[in-house]
Amino acid sequence: MVIISGAFMGMAFAFMWVVSMWQMWFWNVPDGISENEGKVPCLHSEK
């Protein structure tokens, strides 16, 4: 039982790692962030 659950944890980690690498290397940055010099958009404005 422990070996099976460890295998599932390993598969879940591998899946999360692949998704993370895909998002970091092949995903386009949203226009709202790239046009705002990398700042994350927020609801209030700083004046």
Question: Measuring CA to CA, which residue among 23, 41, 19 is closest to residue 32?
Answer: 41
pLDDT in tens, 3-46: 999 999 999 999 999 999 998 898 887 776 677 666 776 777 66
Asked whether 39 and 33 are in contact (CB, 8 A), the reply is yes
DSSP 1: -
Question: Measuring CA to CA, which residue among 35, 37, 18 is closest to residue 27?
Answer: 18
- Higher pLDDT: 1 or 28? It is 1
Q: How far is CA 45 from CA 28, 30, 37, 38, 42, in A?
A: 25, 20, 15, 16, 7
Dist. CA 15–CA 32, nearest whole Å: 28
